[in-house]
Amino acid sequence: MELVEAPIPTPGPGQAQVKIEAAGVNFIDVYFRIGLYKADLPVTLGQEAAGTVTAIGEGVTEVAVGDRVAYAMTRGSYAEYAVVPSWQLIKIPDHVDTRTAAAAMLQGMTAHYLTHSAFPLKAGDTTLVHAAAGGAGRLIVQMAKMLGARVFGTVSTEEKAALTKAAGCDEVIFYTRQDFVAEVKRLTNGRGVDVIYDSVGQATFPKGLDGLRPRGMMVLFGQSSGAAPPIDPLLLNQKGSLFLTRPTLAHYCANREDLLWRACDVLQWIASGKLEVRIDRTYPLSEAAQAHRDLEGRRTAGKILLIP
């Protein structure tokens, strides 16, 4: 990654120019950087940010110049300015600061669609959340508890365990020294959990199928340890008529209505104190490479931001 000077982009019809105050760093940025997800090079990374609208194009009605806004799902936020489709911009409530809004968008809406749509949790459900101390993991834990679920979370260290418990996790499992499937079975009296939210992939996915109850669901939404291996669909039958989905945020925020539902829920919960977003650390934009190293090296517990 290189820091370069580029022209300030100009908004076209249906677009707005945003002066970025903070940009989120996510594993999807790593996937684009290493070529797992394809993009024409050179590419500006970054899928979420928050800042101020500085210009609008023809036909824009959702925002006005001067509005504080946040967004996700438009690549190019590792920058001082970005041009974003105006329908994707969300006005930031007065009681939410700009950096928190930047930290909340992608992972917050991801946690929302996972817990409210991909597998809609309800009171009495039991779930396992992998990487529960991470930015997305802690938000999933909090939303699952809002919905009345019993939550187990996997972590690697005592520090991360404390963060996960503070988020409301009922049982913490140390994947570095415990067999997480055996623990899940013990904690559920042999039944297994209703759903697993797995952002880790290769290291957890195959084994995790054994931790589900009959007709349970594996929600594989990331692959921080590497791509999950292919499986024979018959395996889902053999392990209990399981369900498997590999969702992405774009398909759950494909229109303005769904986007407003998820983003406004997340930001209002933050404003009211119902949801906590933990910013682990910030980096100058020039240190984006180090931010990626720290994220990939599992040296973070919470959200990391780039500051232009």
pLDDT over threshold 90, residue 300: no
Tell which residue, 61, 68, 29, 64, has the closest CA to residue 48.
29
Domain locations in the chain as residue ranges: 15-106+254-307, 122-246
Given a contact cutoff of 8 angstroms between Cβ atoms, the answer to whether 112 and 262 are in contact is: yes
Q: What is the pLDDT of residues 178-191, one digit of tens each?
A: 999 999 999 999 99
Q: What is the pLDDT of residues 35-74, one digit of tens each?
A: 989 999 999 999 999 999 999 999 999 999 999 999 999 9
Q: What is the pLDDT of residues 115-127, one digit of tens each?
A: 999 999 999 999 9
pLDDT over threshold 90, residue 176: no
CATH topology of domain 122-246: Rossmann fold (3.40.50)
* Residue ranges in the chain assigned as alpha helix (H): 27-34, 98-113, 135-146, 158-166, 180-187, 205-208, 234-238, 249-252, 256-272, 288-296
State residue 35's pLDDT score.
92
Give percent above pLDDT 90 in the chain.
94
pLDDT over threshold 90, residue 284: yes
Does the domain at 15-106+254-307 match CATH 3.90.180.10? Answer given as yes
What pTM did the predictor assign? 0.94
- Going by the DSSP 8-state scheme, the letter that residue 227 receives in this structure is P
State the pLDDT confidence band at 192, using cuts at 50, 70 and 90. very high
pLDDT over threshold 90, residue 299: no
**Phi, psi angle pair for 221, to nearest 5°:** -115, 10
